[in-house]
Amino acid sequence: MTKAEITSKVNALLAEEFEVEESVITPDANIKKTLELDSLSLVDLVALIDNEFGIKTNGAEISKVGTFGELYDFIESKIA
Amino acid sequence: MQQGEEIKQLIPQREPIMMIDTFYGATETTGKSGLTVLADNVFCEGGQLREMGVIEHIAQTCAAYNGVKNKQNNGEASKPKLGYIGEIKKCQIVRLPRVGEQLTTDVVATAQVMNVTLMEATTKIGDETIASCQIKLFEED
């Protein structure tokens, strides 16, 4: 899967799961602020990454990811 | 399989709101429980277990699963932890169980972050699926 494919898939999935417009999901945007993530909803992001990309991760790893660009990089590194 | 008093080792709820009477067991990511609906169940009305009772039954199945994991991680003597329903999504209740019917609920833990567990639940009467939902449980330390 190319970086562009990952980006497109992640944006579509996040927009649907967290009910935001895809247009607000940009590489430099802050994930927690944009998706209004809190300690309860962080688990949704972990589940989504696992279900869609087969990546087993945890809250500690995901908490370090600040922007959507970093999330694309994180997923790319895990499926490479 | 655990029943009656043994279930109190897994979940913090007590009568009259204990909503599982059998726990069939757990694997790394799944758990299964049962409940026979009795006429004196506090969530029964008009001979049916109301929606809140079905949800409580599902939540306690998740709690029992967490109870098993807690004992595996912290020892058999560890007490059940208090937990709270954080969120319920994609909830579908097809029909309400009637007095005398036996529910079985399967839960699958799909993700866990710190004290929050995300679970998928399916409740059946025999082969008939009567409810399903995604439930998020927050457990105290």
On the question of a cis peptide bond just before residue B97, with omega within 30 degrees of 0, the verdict is: no
**What range does the domain containing B60 cover?**
2-139
- CATH class name, domain A3-79: mainly alpha
Q: Model confidence at B100, in pLDDT bands (50, 70, 90)?
A: very high
According to DSSP, the residues that pair with B124 across neighbouring strands are B104, B129
**Whether pLDDT at B141 is above 80:** no
**CB-based contact (8 Å) between B24 and chain A?**
no
Q: How far apart are CA B116 and CA B42, in angstroms?
A: 28
Shortest CA gap B91–chain A (Å): 15
| Contact residues, chain A to chain B, C-beta under 8 Å | 39-40, 42-44, 46-47, 50-51, 58-59, 62
What's the total number of domains in chain B?
Answer: 1
Q: What ipTM was assigned to the predicted interfaces of this complex?
A: 0.71
Q: How far apart are CA B51 and CA A23, in angstroms?
A: 38
What per-residue confidence (pLDDT) applies to A64? Answer: 87
Residue B105 vs residues A53, B26, B52, B55, B120: alpha-carbon distances, Å:
28, 12, 15, 11, 10
* CATH of residue B42: 3.10.129.10
Shortest CA gap A80–chain B (Å): 22
Q: Model confidence at A69, in pLDDT bands (50, 70, 90)?
A: very high
Q: Show Cβ contacts of residue A3 under 8 Å, excluding neighbours closer than 6 positions.
A: A72, A76
Instruction: Give residues 71 to 130 of B whose Cβ lies within 8 Å of A.
Output: 86-87, 110-114, 116-118
Do A40 and B110 count as a contact with CB atoms less than 8 A apart? Answer: no
Is the pTM above the cut of 0.90? no
Residues B21-65: pLDDT tens digits? 999 999 999 999 999 999 999 999 999 999 999 999 999 999 999
The count of other CB atoms within 10 Å of the CB of residue B128 is: 10
